[in-house]
Amino acid sequence: MLVLTRRAGESVMIGDDVVITVLEARGDVIRLGIQAPRDVQVHREEVYRELQDANRAAASPTDDAVHAITQMLQKPGE
Amino acid sequence: MTTRTMSRPIEATMTDPSLGLPTISMAVPMPGFPAHKEFVLVRLNDDGLLYALTSLDNPELRFLVAPPEPFFPEYAPEIDESVFAALNTKDPDRVLLLTVITAGKEETTANLLAPIVVDRDSMRAMQTVLTGSGYPVRAIMNRSY
């Protein structure tokens, strides 16, 4: 892991087009500003991990599960 | 067993996702599936409430998705401008919102935190995280609508 020391107002470049700026450091909280191209998604790590887990859990359900959901979604009386 | 015969029509629609169906391109791959960029939306029931978002790169990969409105009438996500920009959206009214459904043994849930936004004109899509919205990743689906 690359470890850098930065002051408020200073930035770090990742590749050619991602800029991370330290906006403020107060106690153990650091505020960061991130500039990235549209196709680079920026997420808090825990949110990204949760979404990754949720997508993996949702991926490729069994035929039986698909069938069960189709039944569940059927309007009453049909 | 009747369930097998019932599920056959579903299978029939799933086996060939390339039957002239419009391809949806992910502007950004779905988290956890970086290699899958092109999908087709296969309708699974007559009401148009359940679809399989099926990967063209690997048809084994599919996500069950549904429009959230019938199940979550209160759901009113605010889509960030950056999403429209990534999808080349000209008319925000032309976007389709889909929630990813997770089939579980105990319960079926819908991911309201991260809906898939599809622009019907550009046929581009992305899963967007509604940061700060408080919407859950696993909302239990309501049967009665």
Vertex B118: Cα angle to B116 and B123 (nearest 5): 140
Phi, psi of B3 (to 5 degrees): -65, -30
Given an 8 Å threshold on Cβ–Cβ distance, is B50 in contact with A61?
Answer: no
Return all residues near B122 (Cβ < 8 A) that are at least 6 apart.
B87, B88, B89
Look up residue B46 and give its amino acid: D
Angstrom distance (rounded) from CA A50 to CA B1: 37
Residue B48 distance to chain A (closest CA, Å): 10
Mean pLDDT value across chain B? 85
Which residue from B6, B10, B143 is facing A72, i.e. has the nearest CB?
A: B143
pLDDT in tens, B21-37: 789 999 999 999 999 99
Which residue from A47, A60, A67 is facing B6, i.e. has the nearest CB?
A: A67
Given an 8 Å threshold on Cβ–Cβ distance, is B114 in contact with A41?
Answer: no
Angstrom distance (rounded) from CA B49 to CA B34: 27
Nearest CA in chain A to B58: A60
Residue A48 distance to chain B (closest CA, Å): 7
Helix (H/G/I), strand (E/B), else coil: A64: helix
Question: What's the pLDDT at A75?
Answer: 58
- Verdict on whether the full-model pTM lies above 0.90: no
How many CB atoms sit inside 10 A of residue B97's CB? 17
Residue B55 distance to chain A (closest CA, Å): 10
Nearest CA in chain A to B34: A52
Question: What's the pLDDT at B1?
Answer: 38
pLDDT in tens, A14-72: 999 999 999 999 999 999 999 999 878 899 999 999 999 999 999 999 988 888 888 87
Angstrom distance (rounded) from CA B32 to CA B40: 18
Closest to B133 measured CA to CA, from B60, B59, B85, B80: B80
Please report the DSSP string for chain B in residue order. Answer: -HHHHHHHHHHHHHH-TTSSPPPEEESSPPTT-TT--EEEEEE-STTS--EEEEESS-TT-EEEEE-STTT-TT--PPPPHHHHHHTT-S-GGGEEEEEEEEE-SS-EEEEEEEEEEEETTTTEEEE---TTS---SSEEPPS--
CB B6 within 8 A of CB A63: no
CB A47 within 8 A of CB B129: yes
What average pLDDT values come out for chain B (145 residues) when binned by 10 residues? 39 47 91 95 85 93 94 93 93 94 88 97 95 92 62
Structure tokens at A55: 């997508």
Question: What's the pLDDT at A40?
Answer: 86
Nearest CA in chain B to A42: B129
Using a CB-CB distance cutoff of 8 angstroms, which residues of chain A are in contact with residue B127?
A: 51, 55
Closest to B34 measured CA to CA, from A14, A47, A52, A57: A52
Residue B20 distance to chain A (closest CA, Å): 22
Count A/B contacts: CB-CB distance under 8 Å: 104
Angstrom distance (rounded) from CA B46 to CA B52: 13
Question: What's the pLDDT at B4?
Answer: 38
